Each structure stands twice: as C-alpha cells, then as structure tokens.
Structure 1
C-alpha cells in the first residue's frame, strides 16, 4: 500500500518546527484520521516518538519520518502533504487521492468507502 509523502516545502517547514522543539532526531510526524467534521472524517497531525506494531513509518527528505497507523492508512494511502502560504497565512494541506469530497477548509473529507450513498451539500461554513 502506498504511503504518505511530504513535498519539499512541507519537509522544510516541518524540519524547522521539529528542530526548534529539539525533536527532529527522535520524533516523526504522525498523520491520523478520526471521525468528525462536516465531511465525516478529519485529518490530524502531531509529533510522536511512540510507534506501535501496526504503524507504518515512511522516510522523507531531510531525515524526517511520517508515521501512520494501519486504520488511518486505509483512508490516506497515497496522500501528499504540502505546506502552502497565501494572503491568509500558511498551513499544511493534504492532497488525498482517496477523498471524493472535502470541506472548504480542507480538514474534513469523505472517501468512497466512508460514503454511505447520501448526497450531502459541500458546505460546512469553513
């Protein structure tokens, strides 16, 4: 199964954040999915140094690692994480090939597997 990758911009920003916190050598970026949000599922990201048996670890540029648990990987396999800046500020953006619809703010999504056949408006107020 495909993993999760960081763009060069995301790796640079993430590496700088981890270096500031003194955890670049010991921690990874954990990407996970949980229920909620207007799309039915939400992305989450945190720094983590505790990896379990069901976790997949993906090496990234600059010595960084991304870790994803098996359940979340089902929903985010092949996703690409970028860091983008615009007039409203900057932030991480997940381009998920498994998402059939997503919230306006990009933090909530729905996959074909999680879609129960209902038609929903793509307006969550974001």
Structure 2
C-alpha cells in the first residue's frame, strides 16, 4: 500500500511518547482533513482504537497509521514532522497539495478541495 503521509523520525518519537503518556499504546494514529479554518480545511491528528472500513492503513516507525480513503488525494506527499525550539515544540505539516493557507497558519485549501471556510478570530 502506498503511503500518503510520511511521518518523520522526530514526529514518530513524539507520537510514541504521547501514545504512552495517554495510554494509547495499542491505538492507531489517525491523520485526516476536516472542513473549517479560514482557508476551508484543517488537519487532524489523533488516536483511534480500531480502523474504519473506509480507511487505508500502514505502518511507519512502528506506528500504525490510518487515513480516511477520501482524504488520501488531499494528503498525498504530506510530511508530518515535530520541531523543538526554546519556546516549546509542535507538529508541522508540509502538504505539497496546499495552494493557499490561512494567515493563522492552521488551515489550507487545495485546487481540488476548498472546504468550508470560517472567520478567523
């Protein structure tokens, strides 16, 4: 199965830490897209106990990953990384399909899917 999203080693380390801290060691990492944000789409990362029938699933860095089949075209080639700095750390998502992003830095749109824009506060 082709992997739509790449999880870097740094992101994998952080995900494993979060899984252990939250008691989610036997869960899947769900990477997804949902409507919202200033540009229409936002990313979602979370844990799920079981994949859905409509998911694709694969494993990277010993982390089982699930993605809704309908989201794969939007996420194809996306890289999820984790950056640490003096101000703290956070996940970064680099999606080559995003043609515009919000000034807030939390939402995007693609040429094939605009989503449902909201007003930024």
TM > 0.5 between the two? yes
Q: Which residue of 1 aligns with 2:35?
A: 35
Segments of 5+ residues of structure 2 without an aligned counterpart are none
User: Which protein, 1 or 2, shows the higher relative CO under an 8 Å CA cutoff with sep ≥ 6?
Assistant: 2
Q: Which runs of 4+ in 1 moved over 6 A?
A: none
Q: Which residue of 2 aligns with 1:55?
A: 55
Cα RMSD (Å): 2.1
Q: Which residue of 1 aligns with 2:21?
A: 20
Q: Which residue of 1 aligns with 2:6?
A: 5
- CA contact under 8 A between 1:4 and 1:58: conserved in structure 2? no
- CA contact under 8 A between 2:3 and 2:58: conserved in structure 1? no
**Residues 46-82 of structure 1, C-alpha deviations (whole Å, 9 max, x = no match):** 1111211210112111x11221001222211221100
What's the TM-score, normalizing by structure 1? 0.81
Segments of 5+ residues of structure 1 without an aligned counterpart are 117-123
